[in-house]
Structure 1
């Protein structure tokens, strides 16, 4: 097992990894930007180094600065968390060249799955259903129009290097398609430095279901069941839960088995999430693989009892999987609400600033993952998520009731948050009856 690990991230996920390292007897080295200087969680690491100004492009995304901190800190491995450099195959390769383990897949596996077109082809080869899509990237408008007419409108334009809804557009006719192509390319180029896009048949009112997978370096892979992420706004997840409501046990098993085939076909090791959409008939289709730990990983931890961060560390250090598929339980129902420093009443405008008072709920089956505290100043430079409120109860009905109670107890004074929206969503009849899809929030709630 590693002696020292650097966490190339910030905030809640950095704290999560620091805690896992401490419990495993591993020394942790944190990095921070000037925007995060003085954050309380940094004091829990064994060492902490400043890697640049507040702007992420000059600190958390600056590969040379992260590697320099790793070398000064004399670490054996780097945990990238999620976001920032976590799915950057070039960074992964540099870590390997510097003889530092990257806690994640190999650069080759990451590169093959990071490009959505390559991943789709890999899925086909593994016998995993994919949404009808273009053969490779779309270079010309005329090519896009031909494809759209062949499969029928609406179609979905997707950036090959995309994520988080960036570089995605839906088009319902020729004129909209031409305009959306330009917008998607420009957005993808700005966000990822790669403006390539491809087209898919747009599945209307789908559910978004993803499967958590663990794979070791010895050819073993298992799934840890699925999470439903359908409650989202503009492709940004708001609420996640497990198990997914309203899918049959047969579909659940087929989807989970397909996810394992996909990961094995990619010669992948470490934690991964294989994402699918499910249509109204219950048919599922592969979307993409997230080659990293996910924001919503605690949902799976609660229903399986498996610590995914510790699993990542053990797998990366070369351990063989200590779990068999039949060892993975399903313990009740878990729900996660992402608490963001945003104002839902003002089109989700970011709300940085000082948290005057933070009151955290508790009770049976309650978990709050956050680096925030009373007096913490939410910086304006990064993602607006300040915490994740989770509950696990024996049934979905009980989990919803528990989450509503916890949302009422959770107080974040001084800034605006998404707490009021979560209360509205969980109180809605359609949510309680699991009549939800990826457009539910935007169709139902003001400002959605």
Structure 2
């Protein structure tokens, strides 16, 4: 029988599934969007989505699966993979009486496993420890939960269906409850959340068990440790854990117990927190009923292709663990594997997304024994295009690639990981492509982590908050370990050396503009209302020249500074009899600063205004993201629906979100730094646009300068995308 599979995902996991299915002889179908096509080049067929929303829309996925005559659907990982709605919809017979098989657990198993409260209840029923927690629907219920714990903080608020760090906020005090609750709800597809006691002190490690089942029997492929995290998102994973076997075995037993009760089918990960300083102190966290991003390290230590195995479990002749010879306990691992997530983010700015555009030649991956790279920054040879480029934006997560290294010992794997990072090249910071900045990565943090003395500790030194506590040291170590090219991108050599500590050689800025000392510009001016051509014919033009004599900084078009000579009247020269200054005889210092920026949002160009940090009241965006919510005061300023007096204006309170930016499906608030009123909104600001880092959100007049009885501080009436 010929099988045909729709891979309902994108990026590196879609590429991986498409390749494994192709090896088995299955026909493949991919889905893609206009600016995200690389994975689709590995498929036999590809269907274009109208927008990124289609990746999470059950009806869209089902329609495509049936219209392309697929026999199977693989959801990859993410929200869709954990929704029981998809397998239910696929099981409904369409025209011709056929059903499509969902590669994953049954709808009932998914219903429990994907709901964090239901899975906690299952664990409790089976005698497996969990952290104290409860379902919540209002911020007041969070405060009451804290009071029940003796007014204890920190707490963790989680979306019932969150994942990948989304829908999770830690609350350190009662003042943070309201905002944290709103952000979790905003990132949750179901708009439901729960709160639990935070176990985030010294020594608490994140350990997870890889489980496989055929619907009747279950087995495991050992565990992974994922304690190196930022904002509850994993950065570095290892397998197996270096914890004692006596500490890990209870977690494996608990995972198999829960999986057996669920009659689990497919791949699943059962996650736990364990205190390395007191290994008997551990709790169940959640079930991820799908393949995980970090499945690669499990593959390496078990010498198994998990994706291929997953596909075979849903083939008629290999539907049991016994038929695949996985019905016996696995062999103890004799090697170590480390996965390093290379993300498009800036560690020096709190791991903010660093979007941009890459060309195939801008990427160099490490090679050699024991090194593997899984990435979406590649194109199938059959789908190669000379003008191909990779766009890193705000709609998806920041993952660019996974570098997986393997060694006979933990030390060997670590050394190999450092070598791989030293060979890595992502981006060319000396240019921009079509107005987009080149991409920055977190390679310096990955290298610093593997070089830190705590990394080799065996007493719980690296816990879930370790990176947060040691980030500065980690970055410093990474700077020392990596060559400069790996940190800042590929630097093109200039033909001239530095002069007096300044850049004096040619420099290629954005748009490949070559600027160097001696560059001559001709300036032709014409009277108002006439084109240059018309003025030339009537003799009404005035010609001048501008010669760059030195360049101190070239980040054109954002910033260009140096000195120039010009035939224009100098503003610093003495005034002659005509009332004009003489032409400049000595070089004049100048700085050219861009005050607007053009971005592409939704296929259309949008112009924004750069915030001036020296201007009174300018509130700039600290990151790049899609605008998904606006404060009523910004809406009022945009609409000009009321008068301009303070009495009519909506007051903004310090700490209130002026707007929300969606970055990789996570919501980030830009808050008011003081009480005040919105004088005006930055150019281009509206719902749905992608706002770049440093762009002006609004000008906020300080409330201390205003009448105390003016305006309303109403925080209702927000507009949301």
TM-score over 0.5 for the alignment?
A: yes
User: In the aligned structure 1, how far is the partner of 2:59 from the partner of 2:189?
Assistant: 18
Q: Which residue number corresponds to residue 91 of structure 2?
A: 96
Match of 2:343 among 327, 340, 345: 340
Question: Which residue number in structure 2 is paired with residue 148 of structure 1?
Answer: 149
TM-score scaled by length of structure 1: 0.92
The equivalent residue for 2:469 is 443
Is residue 220–residue 330 contact of structure 2 (8 Å, CA) maintained in 1? no
Paired position in structure 1 for 2:247: 251
How far 1:360 sits from its partner (Å)?
A: 1.4
The higher radius of gyration belongs to 2
SS in 2 for 1:149: coil
**Per-residue CA distance 1:215-263 (angstroms, 9 max, x = gap):** 002x110011000000000101000001112x22112121111111111
Which residue of the partner structure matches residue 361 of structure 1?
366
2:35 partner SS: helix
2:427 maps to which residue? 413
CA contact (8 A) 1:82 1:293 kept: yes
Confirm or deny that 1:378 pairs with 2:413: no
Q: Which residue of 1 aligns with 2:77?
A: 82
CA distance in structure 2 between the aligned counterparts of 1:252 and 1:394, rounded to whole angstroms: 21
Indicate the SS of the match to 1:438.
coil
State whether residues 221 and 330 of structure 2, in contact with CA within 8 Å, keep that contact through their aligned partners in structure 1: no
- CA apart distance, 1:436: 0.1
Residue 336 of structure 1 aligns to a residue in which SS? strand
User: Shift of the alpha carbon at 1:2?
Assistant: 5.9
Deviation readout 1:76-119 (Å, 9 max, x if unpaired) = 11000011411122122112225211100111111111111111
1:236 to 208, 233, 236: 233
Higher-RCO chain (CA-CA 8 Å, sequence separation at least 6): 1
Structure 2 counterpart of 1:105: 105
CA contact (8 A) 1:117 1:137 kept: no
| Contact kept? 1:277, 1:286, Cα under 8 Å | yes
User: Is the Cα contact below 8 Å between 2:337 and 2:405 reproduced in 1?
Assistant: yes
Residue 68 of structure 1: how far off its partner (Å): 2.0
Work out the CA distance in 1 between the residues paired with 2:132 and 2:59: 40
The residue number in structure 1 matching 2:409 is 395
- Native 8 Å contact 2:113 2:287 kept in 1: yes
Structure 1 match to 2:286: 288
Whole-angstrom CA distance in 2 between matches of 1:361 and 1:301: 19
- Are the aligned partners of 1:11 and 1:370 in contact in 2 as well (CA < 8 Å)? yes
Cα gap change, 1:299 to 1:345, in 2 (>3 Å): same
Distance 2:205 2:391 in 1: 32
Q: Distance in 1 between matches of 2:456 and 2:391?
A: 32
How many Å separate the matches in 2 of 1:241 and 1:117? 28
- Give the Cα–Cα distance (whole angstroms) in 2 for the partners of residues 148 and 170 of structure 1: 16
**TM-fit CA distance, 1:190:** 1.5
> 1:61 — aligned with what?
56
> Structure 1: 5+ residue runs without aligned partners?
none
The match for 1:162 is 162
Deviation at 1:162, TM superposition (A): 2.2
Asked if 2 retains the 8 angstrom alpha-carbon contact of 1:157 and 1:169, the reply is: yes
Segment of structure 1 superposing worse, 324-333 or 406-415: 324-333
Greater helix percent: which structure?
Answer: 1
Tell me by how many angstroms 1:180 deviates.
3.6
Select between 220-229 and 156-165 the one with higher mean Cα deviation.
156-165
* Root mean square deviation, CA, Å: 2.0
Asked whether the 8 Å contact 1:156–1:200 carries over to 2, the reply is yes
1:211 to 186, 209, 227: 209
Question: Normalising by the residue count of structure 2, what TM-score does the alignment of the two structures yield?
Answer: 0.58
The alpha-carbon deviation at position 440 of structure 1 amounts to 0.8
8 Å CA contact retained: 2:221, 2:298: yes
Tell me how far 1:171 sits from its aligned partner.
3.5
Residue 189 of structure 1 and its aligned partner are, at CA, apart by 2.3
Give the superposition deviation at 1:394: 0.6
Deviation at residue 73 of structure 1 after TM alignment: 1.3
Q: What is the Cα deviation at residue 167 of structure 1?
A: 3.3
Partner Cα distance (1:158, 1:63) in 2: 24
How big is the shift at 1:424? 1.0
C-alpha deviations, 1:187-223, integer Å up to 9, x for none? 2322124343333222223100000000002x11001
1:49 to 47, 50, 54: 47
Distance in 2 separating the partners of 1:86 and 1:264? 20
Is contact 1:156-1:202 (8 Å) kept? yes
**Runs (5+) with no aligned partner, structure 2:** 94-98, 380-387, 429-438, 476-721
Alignment CA distance shift 1:111-1:441 (3 Å): same
Q: Following TM superposition, by how much is the alpha carbon of 1:425 offset from its aligned partner in structure 2, in angstroms? A: 1.1
Question: 1:365, 1:165 → 2: CA distance?
Answer: 29
